[in-house]
Amino acid sequence: MPVLKTLLVSALATTVISTGHVDIGPRFVDDRWTLQVYDDPTWRDADSTVLQVTDDALLTVPDDPAYAFLPAKPGSDVYVIPQTQNPDVVWLGWNTQDPEVMETIDRGVTMTLTGVQGPGELTVYLQSGDFEQPQVLWPKPIWVDVNTHTHANWVFTEPGVYLVQLKLEADLIDGRTVSDTRELRFAVGSGTSPEDARAATWRPVKAAATPARAGTAEESGGVSTGVLIAAGALLLAAASGLVVARGRGAKRRARA
């Protein structure tokens, strides 16, 4: 079990976070709109922050047809950052509560998942209660109102290094439009080196390429790229049960 929430790796100027409350969100740094990581109470640079998802996040895929949508086979394990906090696992969400952001933006922020690089698949979804239908996030951009604080379920199918690229855009009260794109760095699995996650490099997908379908992976420079964005009531109910029924779930509004 992790003893410290945050570990500073001085040689790489890297912050490794394995437990506790963490948000991503926009800020103005030197008057520039920037996506940062809020390691309560400190905002950190996304490029030098690694989110470590240890083996305490492991859950088993049930031998149930309801979970057939998962690329992982029944009886295999997946890594889950849950919507409801598990004290042994990093608790990842997002917020639009920075004071300068709240005073400057017009209504809210658009958040877009623009890509994932890693050895397995990723799905992210929200659920307001045990019996409510979950909302699978992305590939469509999602709308986040100003002064919002939300946590979600993040499910990784394999251990390894993942880079999750997110874009935050907003219209400002003064008429300007601002945008920033950053990669979140994940070291999934206790055996995955946070230093490797810090050193990983984003490999842009060629313009002609199409997104990977659910349950497939694209290869780019030797790094598997996987994004599982699924839909349908069966899928959603199953994804909900995977996390919530094991006891380890903030409702947000999606904009088409």
Query: What is residue 103's three-state secondary structure?
Result: helix
- The pLDDT value given to residue 226: 44
What is the DSSP pairing of strand 32-39 with strand 42-45? antiparallel
- The pLDDT value given to residue 68: 64
Task: Tell me how far the alpha carbon of residue 86 is from its chain's centroid.
Answer: 16
Phi, psi of 171 (to 5 degrees): -95, 135
CA torsion sign for 195, 182, 102, 153 is: negative
- The pLDDT value given to residue 144: 97
Structure-token match 């984003």, residue found: 202
Per-residue pLDDT 10s for the chain (256 aa) are 444 455 554 444 799 999 999 999 999 999 999 999 999 899 999 999 999 999 999 988 778 665 566 677 878 899 999 999 999 999 999 999 999 999 999 999 999 999 999 999 998 877 776 656 567 788 899 999 999 999 998 999 999 999 999 999 999 999 999 999 999 999 999 999 999 999 999 998 654 334 444 333 333 333 333 444 443 333 333 334 443 333 333 333 333 3
pTM of the model: 0.75
Q: 247 with 145: CB under 8 angstroms?
A: no
Q: In what order do the strands lie in the sheet with 122-126?
A: 58-60, 77-81, 153-156, 122-126, 135-136
